Amino acid sequence: MSIADSKSDLQKPGKVFLVGGGPGNPEDLTLRAYRILAKAEVILYDALLDPSFLEIFPKDAIVHYVGKRSGAHSATQEEINNLLLSYALSGKNVVRLKGGDPFVFGRGGEELITLINHNIEYEIVPGVSSLNAGSSFAGFPLTHRGLSRQVLIMDGHTVLNEATDWEWFARFQGTIALFMGTTSLPKIAKLLLDHGSSEDLPVALVENASLETCKVQTCSLREAADSNLEKRTKGPGIVYIGNVVRFLQKDKSIAFSSQVSEEKNES
């Protein structure tokens, strides 16, 4: 029997808040998230958050680091779920502080199912996802009229092991955002090229978005396939593939001529 099963009949359960911590910098917390965090009795926080978050945690809160990074897990998902239940069933108000947004590759859904199955009161607090934070801090949009009207989010850990329709991906006329995929980028880029993507399609790697240590690199899809885009930091990175990356290459003629032509067609 796990500790989560030892519920007292006399103890009213607490509440669990699944809170998005944003891309890493505490300054990117929403006001709602900050106010909830300030009242937390227990905090379980992720690896993708800057250590400066510790400075804004309540001094009397019970704090657990439960970060999961590639090759280094401080706690399994089952252990995290049990901690949430254990503290909630003991009457504590718990904040599960997750990097980015809880429901964008954050396993928030798995924790939500656990809370629902045990009748624990919960509240979901969305956060700024690294999806849009990465592109914004780097300096290019995810969508732009005439260049990209769609965004495709891929998981670099599993996309190579699934029945992926690479021909469809290669024809995708929008922005591809690759989470957890910096190491698998060369293979993904090669598959896109093999199925018809342009060799000149621009690629950006954004690391540590929102922090002073933010690094941005760009290259072509061919160069990415040749492993010419590698991480420079130990922090999280997100990859973007698509013509919107041309904003970083200062190719404003391509970016804005497309908008002008479309505006003429609409007039």
Q: What is the per-residue pLDDT across 213-236, written as a single tens digit (0 to 9) for each?
A: 999 999 999 999 999 999 999 888
pLDDT at 134: 96
Q: What is the dotted CATH code of the domain comprising 16-125?
A: 3.40.1010.10
What digits encode the pLDDT tens for the residues 80-103?
999 999 999 999 999 999 999 999
Which residue among the candidates 7, 68, 187, 231 is catalytic per the annotation? 68
Which residue among the candidates 5, 12, 39, 46 is catalytic per the annotation? 46
Which pairing describes strands 62-65 and 42-45: parallel, antiparallel, or unpaired?
A: parallel
Query: Does residue 4 register a pLDDT over 60?
Result: no
The whole-chain average pLDDT of the chain stands at 89
pLDDT at 263: 46
Q: What is the dotted CATH code of the domain comprising 130-248?
A: 3.30.950.10
Q: 3-state SS of the chain: helix, strand, coil percent to 5?
A: 35, 20, 45
68 is catalytic: yes
Structure tokens at 248: 């970083």
Distance of CA 105 to the CA centre of its chain: 6
Which of these, 5, 100, 90, 85, lies nearest to 45 by C-alpha position?
A: 100
- Residue 252 confidence class, pLDDT cut points 50, 70, 90: low
- Residue 74 confidence class, pLDDT cut points 50, 70, 90: confident
What digits encode the pLDDT tens for the residues 55-71?
999 999 999 999 876 55
Query: Does residue 126 register a pLDDT over 60?
Result: yes
- Do 173 and 258 touch, CB atoms closer than 8 A? no
List the chain domain ranges: 16-125, 130-248
What digits encode the pLDDT tens for the residues 128-157?
999 999 999 999 999 999 889 999 999 988
Query: Does residue 176 register a pLDDT over 70?
Result: yes
Q: Indicate the residue type of 145.
A: R
What digits encode the pLDDT tens for the residues 5-48?
554 456 799 999 999 999 999 999 999 999 999 999 999 999 88
Mean pLDDT of 182-186: 94
| Residue listed under structure tokens 């997100």 | 238
Q: Indicate the residue type of 102.
A: P
Q: Indicate the residue type of 174.
A: G
Global pTM value: 0.87
28 is catalytic: no
Contacts with 150 (C-beta within 8 Å, 6 or more apart), sequence order: 143, 172, 173, 174, 175
pLDDT at 162: 84
- Round to whole Å and give the CA distance between 55 and 57: 6
